Structure 1
Amino acid sequence: MPPAPEGADSTARARRIAATLALAVLAALGAQAVGLPLPWMLGPLLATAAFGVAGRPVAASQRLRNLGLALLGVALGLYFTPPVVALIGRLAPAIAAGVVWALALGYVFYRVLLARHGGERATCFYAAAIGGASEMALLAERAGGRVDQVAAAHSLRVLLVVTIVPVALKLLGVHGLDAASTASATVRPLGLLMLAAGAAVAVWILCRLKAPNPWVLGPLLATALPTALGAELSALPPGTSGFAQLVIGVALGIRFTPEFAHAAPRWLASVAAGTLAMLVVSAGFAALLARATGLHPATALLATTPGGIAEMAITAKVLQLGVPVVTAFQVVRYVAVLTLMPVLYRAECRRVGLRP
């Protein structure tokens, strides 16, 4: 049988990506029609995950995902006006408490996983951490853990959090409580060009430095800095938020494959049960934090819930629930967890008399 033409694989992949995007748009419209919260993320996420688990050939474009993350970073950065920055400064002790809470929650979850599954200490430790999937999987691999189980645990955790939390908030009628607004409500071509240039330079610098999550953090920092100094460059054009949600939802959904569904069901069941338990106790912690700081409980919940930066920030933005506060909590926690987990893992190994 003659070999396939050189461009056949790339053409087939492009067709799969296009078909997946078409499915995602239909799913988003369907989710919007039935009143699902975050329809442009949850619709594509759930539809892509369902097709992926069923073995259908779904695919996502890494370039579109990165563009969506960059747009999200810019959108979040526009909220960091001088009054908001002053508010976040006053919330510094609460943000630190959120970091401590995330580390403690992850450690308790690790001990539960270890008790139920045993043996794979590095796998349980990094699977339980409240951090990014790819970053925790890489750290687990360096420590001799199972990358597949760590990645599966984080994918399932994010899926559950990003589905349950927005639906619960919508059922409770919690939305539109955010008094904060972006620096500018007007689209200005020159300002938009400056935002794009700043975001591109920031992404390039962070990529060169091999910093984690450069496609969100770079544009976020590049936009937040001039905004915090009082500059009102431009709003983003209409539709960018929906586009960002759609491509991020698809990128999350394609993680769910037939292999994911059939691999280590007992492990996934433990992760699911642990995630639900973390959501419950995080709601209690958020209530206490809200009482101590004056934040709305829903904002405190999104700020401290065990989700990811992109997913929780999108939830806060769409439901208008303290976008900059949620973003600040999530970004600081993300950096702290990523930085501290290897140190804490070595300390845990020393505690039990093992060599890390």
Structure 2
Amino acid sequence: LKDHWFSVGIMLILSILLAMLSGYVLWRFSKTDMMTSFVGTAPGGLSAMPSIAQEVGANTAIVSLVQMMRVLLVVLSIPFLVILIYSKQDSSASAAAKTLSTATTDFRLAPVLWTAILILAAWGACKAAKRLKFPAPWLLGSMLGVALVHVGGAAVTGHDMMAWWPSQANHVSQVFLGATIGSKMYKSMFSGVTRIIIVGFVSSVGLIAAMFLSAVIVSKLTGISLITSVLAFAPGGIA
């Protein structure tokens, strides 16, 4: 990132502009309102955008539907496209991922204590974000707060701090998030949804294709591996 911050930054801005164009298409050719269209097509994924939709008064069901459709399209297409083009992953990247996975699930006293510190940081940051009226304060506040403490801890100690965070915790969080979104959906939200699905599908395919092409260009310009570039910029969110 230090070497290629300009190219990556341009790419991130371009992804937002392309998503806004996708939102305009959804609003222009369907019966949904403008706020719902733009939040629904924003490249924030299914984790963040439905929560933000609820806060700004957009139709949560439509936002969740469009985001879910795009995530499914990304998950079902991008990995296969990458495999076709890039049959063998970079061995050093795989080794680094394996090391990180092992370290973050290691149950020892120091990682568990660091996890407790991060939980407290997340709670405090959520309260601060809510007071400052951040969008989706429980998600953004906790993420930013923990990131700052985590990076700060590494700067103070001179090495990366490893927290005990088993993979099951990620699964549980997604179950609660999914249940929360699902419990706020009502039949009336889905009236006239056929046109939205069709337009949303077309605009999502267009956005994915444009992002894939842009990721290939960034890979060529910067030397970042193709598989990393494509997965980093695919509009599927955290998933």
Normalising by the smaller structure, the TM-score range is: 0.7 to 0.9
* Among 118, 123, 136, the residue aligned to 1:199: 118
Amino acid in the other structure paired with 1:219: V
State the Cα distance separating 1:244 from its structure 2 match: 4.0
C-alpha separation in 2, matches of 1:217 and 1:163? 30
- What SS is found at the alignment partner of 1:90? coil
Aligned-residue offset at 1:120: 2.0
Q: What's the counterpart of residue 156 of structure 1?
A: 69
1:173 is aligned to 2:87: yes
Q: 1:246 aligns with which of 168, 171, 179?
A: 171
Please state if 1:274 is matched with 2:203.
yes
Distance 2:161 2:107 in 1: 7
Displacement of 1:227 in angstroms is: 3.3
In structure 1, give the amino acid aligned to 2:34: R
In the alignment, does 2:136 pair up with 1:219?
no
Q: Compute the RMSD of aligned alpha carbons.
A: 3.4
Map 1:264-343 → 2, pairs under 5 A? 264-309=193-238, 311=239
Distance 1:159 1:225, change over 3 A: farther
Contact between 2:39 and 2:49, CA under 8 Å: does it hold in 1? Answer: no
Give the 3 Å change call, closer, same or farther, for CA 123–232 of structure 1 in structure 2.
closer
**Structure 2 counterpart of 1:11:** none
1:203: how far off?
Answer: 0.7
Deviation at 1:245, TM superposition (A): 4.9
Q: Distance in 1 between matches of 2:53 and 2:114?
A: 33
Q: How does 1:334-353 map to 2 (within 5 A)?
A: none
Contact 2:211–2:233 (Cα < 8 Å) also in 1 = yes
Q: Report percent identity of matched pairs.
A: 23
Task: Rate the CA distance shift 1:244–1:190 in 2: closer, same or farther, 3 A.
Answer: closer
Deviations 1:77-111 (A, max 9, x none): xxxxxxxxxxx333322332132112211121022
- Residue 125 of structure 2 contacts residue 145 of structure 2 at CA under 8 Å; is this kept in 1? yes
Amino acid at match of 1:133: M
**2:50 aligns to what?**
134
Q: Which runs of 5+ in 1 are unaligned?
A: 1-87, 312-356
Equivalent residues of 1:94, 1:289 under 8 A apart: yes
| 1:251–1:163 distance in 2 versus 1, CA, 3 Å | farther
Distance 1:252 1:158 in 2: 15
Check conservation: 1:126, 1:140, Cα contact below 8 A. Answer: no
Alignment check: 8 A CA contact 1:126 1:139 kept: no
| Superposed displacement of residue 276, structure 1 | 1.9
Letter in 2 for 1:191: A
Does the alignment pair 1:124 with 2:37?
A: yes
Question: How far does residue 216 in structure 1 lie from its aligned partner after superposition?
Answer: 4.0
Contact residue 23 and residue 40 of structure 2 kept, 8 A? yes
Asked which structure has the greater CA Rg, the reply is 1
2:22 to 85, 104, 109: 109
Q: 1:235 to 1:196 in 2, by over 3 A?
A: closer
Which whole-Å CA distance do the structure 2 matches of 1:104 and 1:303 have between them?
Answer: 17
The count of residues paired between Structure 1 and Structure 2 equals: 217
How much does 1:296 deviate? 0.6
SS of the residue aligned with 1:166? Answer: helix
Shift of 1:266: 1.9
Say whether the 8 Å CA contact 1:138–1:147 is kept in structure 2: yes
Evaluate the alpha carbon distance shift between residue 290 and residue 173 of structure 1 in structure 2; reply closer, same or farther with a 3 A threshold. same
The corresponding residue for 1:52 is none
Q: Which letter does structure 2 place at the counterpart of 1:159?
A: L
Aligned-partner SS, 2:2: helix
Deviates most, 285-294 or 170-179: 170-179
User: Could you tell me how far 1:116 is from its partner in structure 2?
Assistant: 0.9
Amino acid at match of 1:94: S
Equivalent pair of 1:183/1:227 in contact (CA under 8 Å):
no
Contact 2:70 2:236 survives alignment (8 Å)? yes
Alignment-derived partner of residue 134 in structure 2: none
